[in-house]
Amino acid sequence: RSRQGRHGRTPVAMDLSAGPNILELYQKPVNITTYDTKWIPTSARFVVLGSYARATGCLQIYSLDTENEGVKLNKELEKKAAFKCGTFGASSLRERHLATGNFEGYLQLWDLQRPEKPLMDVKAHTSIVNAIDGAGGQRSGYGPPELVTGGRDGCVRVWDVRQKDAPVAIFEPAEGVKARDCWSVAFGNSFNDEERCVLAGYDNGDVKMFDLRTGTVRVEHNVRNGVCSVEFDRKEIAMNKFVVTCLESAFTVFDARTQHPAKGFSSVTEKVPVSATVWGAKHLPQNREVSMVLGGDGTLMLYKYQYPDQRVVKDKDGVKTGVAGTMNLVSSKNVSTQPISSWDWSPDKEGLAVCGSFDQTVRVVCATRLNTL
């Protein structure tokens, strides 16, 4: 245990034959603060979004170059405001337009072939756009191509990319109620052309599910800690489960198949084995029961969800209530001394991912032997 690795960290011995492992394939030092990383669909390229030291925005496009340095910078653009988040979720696989939110509150849509001027440029929030998600644009799913943004102003707004001047739905604090910082948003339950829901997580621990068909709050929970991320296990199915990650070393999985009229969704809370904020949990596109949990100390943790023997029971009044399963840690690896701020699984290559951290390094990572889970 006294031997030091090439980055000054002590290597941890792993049994490479037992099951899934997390391997760091390539590192790429960058001169920016990295806030988001996204694979460009149906390609071996990815986008890095962030901020230069002078608080301007940086958009970088990289490609995998396995014969030389591993990762090659293809294009770098500087914009007026720092980028906070991005998604390809509302764009078709042919167009692959990138939607971004920035620190000045603007929602923008970019054609990466001609990125000099945005295709869409609207003032979405009064301050930072903390989070963004997209639905309806890619290889599967239903409904219109839409974006959802969450901001420091406490508002959640839904946008149709075909109507670029105003949101199609707004969920904001009631008059006289203090606005809570919305830190995360996610689409889900989009299993036909009418149904679609939005999850939103706030800095006071509130988790709200908005029903876009009825325009109402479908359910509210409070997880007693600031919500760093929310995500459904799949967007394009009748909602099955979703995960909420929090500030103090914990995340909560909600069973979303059965909603009790008074208690809402059943849930299970998992404490991670590190004392750090849980920045996110990202479900594997090819297996919704597997997710990568992102630690604030630079640790990646691979979990698998196990369903209970019985997903629905009746309470003492005969009302159906859901039963949550358990989360099992199957592999972990520390890759940085700083928080893992972003993670994106490749939609095309199972186990391949790109992540960004606050040590100004972008990493290409591979989770192996996922077929053993």
Residue count of the chain, please give it. Answer: 373
Instruction: Read off the pLDDT of residues 89-110 as tens digits, 9 standing for 90 and up.
Output: 999 988 999 999 999 999 999 9
- Report how far residue 280's alpha carbon sits from residue 335's, in angstroms, rounded to the nearest whole number: 16
Q: In what order do the strands lie in the sheet with 278-284?
A: 278-284, 287-295, 299-306, 326-334
* Residues 66, 69, 74, 76, Cα dihedral to 10°: 140
Predicted local confidence at residue 209, as pLDDT: 98
pTM for this one? 0.92
Predicted local confidence at residue 6, as pLDDT: 37
Q: CB within 8 A of 371, min separation 6: which ones?
A: none
Predicted local confidence at residue 142, as pLDDT: 86
Please answer whether residues 275 and 249 qualify as being in contact, where contact means their C-beta atoms are separated by less than 8 angstroms: yes
Predicted local confidence at residue 305, as pLDDT: 98
Tell me the HSE value of 87 on the side-chain side, using a 13 A CA sphere: 24
197, two tokens: 């829901």
∠ Cα 279 272 12 (to 5°): 100
Q: What residue ranges of the chain have pLDDT lower than 70?
A: 1-17, 138-141
Predicted local confidence at residue 5, as pLDDT: 40
The residue whose two tokens read 């394009």 is 236
Q: Which amino acid is at 122?
A: V
